[in-house]
Structure 1
Amino acid sequence: MTEQQWDRESVRAIIAGLQDKPGALLPILHGIQDALGYVPPDSVPLIAEGLNLSRAEVHGVVSFYHYFRQTPPGKHTIHLCRAESCKSMGADALETHVKTRLGIDYHETTSDQAFSLEPVYCLGNCACSPSIMVDHDVHGRITPERFDEIIANPGVGA
């Protein structure tokens, strides 16, 4: 079975399981992203058909919410906090370093597929600003040097 067929079957199963729920579009999109890591553009017609919506309506929701990825994520996802506490403690300079070091912007993935970069608007780690989350590990008091250390060995916990 090819990856595209697998994805289609996963998407169809998620749609079938949630389409009768009130306000089903967002739960379906979350379910697809949870299962696949992103919402494939080819899934939009399936979702639209399952919910009796236009493709434009589904695409509009996917593209409006920054949470939904339309491309496969990298092996590791880095969330960089953009909230006030982190910004006041140097997150803007950190953001510049991170984007330069990785060679990508928000919502992009490095060419080697190792890292994706996403903004987040609070990690609940304000006392240790600026903060990032790599996969599910939150790291605080991040300097450019500390960031470089973390991505050199991203599998090590916080």
Structure 2
Amino acid sequence: MAGKKSVWLMDEGRTPSIPTIRHKLFAPFRIEIRTTRYVILGMSAPMHEQVKTILAKVRNEPPNILKALLALQERLGHVPTEAVPDIAHALGATTAQVAGVLSYYPDLRLTHPGRHLIRVCMGESCYANGCGRLLRELQDRLRVDVGETAAGGKFTLDTMSCAGNCAVSPTLMIDRDLYGRLLPSQLVTLLERYK
């Protein structure tokens, strides 16, 4: 059997790489597993198509896992965990490599955020000027912890390491809007703008 596979691969007129060999030898098996996985994990057909479209744009580039994950998140709002095998396959990477990048970068989200993303800067300057009070006030007001979405899906609360707005700390961002020199008492008025 091994001889047959060698002859089959030699007929292509080139020496195949390890990923090419794996792809050809296990392609039918992989397709069957993927089809089952979509059903088990619940990736909808429309989301599957969106994932495939986004990955097709980066398929011919050198493997850049972070770029692919950011493109998915930009389009979908998050990186669906059930798409990790597709991402790995499209980039010629392992699922462990993709999962490693996903877990390393705090800006990559595995769940869909609320309509508005609130990010409190936790940098040194903001910390020294009271970002902890802002964060506690937001947690109390929204009744969520960091990384969670408030009931109704309106706000997701998160932190960031530095907003680069140190001169007017403490700072927080709502979506792409940056606010500095905030006091906890100003948060009610600020949140009203986003309702």
TM-score by length of 1: 0.88
Q: What secondary structure does 2:44 align onto?
A: helix
8 Å Cα contact 1:74/1:109 also seen in 2: yes
Give the Cα–Cα distance (whole angstroms) in 2 for the partners of residues 113 and 17 of structure 1. 31
1:22 is aligned, of 39, 62, 69, to 62
Q: Does 1:48 find its partner at 2:76?
A: no
Q: Which has the higher helix share?
A: 2
Q: Does 1:76 find its partner at 2:116?
A: yes
Give the Cα–Cα distance (whole angstroms) in 1 for the partners of residues 95 and 75 of structure 2. 21
Q: State the structure with bigger RCO (CA 8 A, min sep 6), 1 or 2.
A: 1
Q: What secondary structure does 2:112 align onto?
A: coil
In the alignment, what sits opposite 2:163? 123
Give the Cα–Cα distance (whole angstroms) in 2 for the partners of residues 9 and 106 of structure 1. 31
Give the Cα–Cα distance (whole angstroms) in 1 for the partners of residues 73 and 93 of structure 2. 19
Structure 1 residues not aligned, in runs of 5+:
none
Structure 2 residues not aligned, in runs of 5+:
1-42
| Larger radius of gyration between Structure 1 and Structure 2 | 2
Give aligned-pair identity as a percent: 36
Amino acid paired to 1:107: G
Amino acid paired to 2:143: G
Amino acid paired to 2:112: P
8 Å Cα contact 1:69/1:107 also seen in 2: no
Amino acid paired to 1:104: V
Give the Cα–Cα distance (whole angstroms) in 2 for the partners of residues 6 and 50 of structure 1. 18
8 Å Cα contact 2:63/2:93 also seen in 1: no
Give the Cα–Cα distance (whole angstroms) in 2 for the partners of residues 145 and 152 of structure 1. 13
Structure 2 matches for 1:2-17, cutoff 5 A?
Answer: 4-17=44-57
Structure 2 matches for 1:9-158, cutoff 5 A?
Answer: 9-154=49-194
Deviation at 1:73, TM superposition (A): 0.8
8 Å Cα contact 1:83/1:121 also seen in 2: yes
Amino acid paired to 2:55: I
TM-score by length of 2: 0.73
Q: CA offsets per residue over residues 89-128 of structure 1, 9 Å max, x none? A: 1111221211222222222211211111121122232222
Root-mean-square deviation (Å)? 1.7
Q: CA offsets per residue over residues 120-152 of structure 1, 9 Å max, x none? A: 122232222111111111111111111121112
8 Å Cα contact 2:63/2:91 also seen in 1: no
Give the Cα–Cα distance (whole angstroms) in 2 for the partners of residues 8 and 73 of structure 1. 19
8 Å Cα contact 1:106/1:118 also seen in 2: yes
Give the Cα–Cα distance (whole angstroms) in 1 for the partners of residues 113 and 84 of structure 2. 18
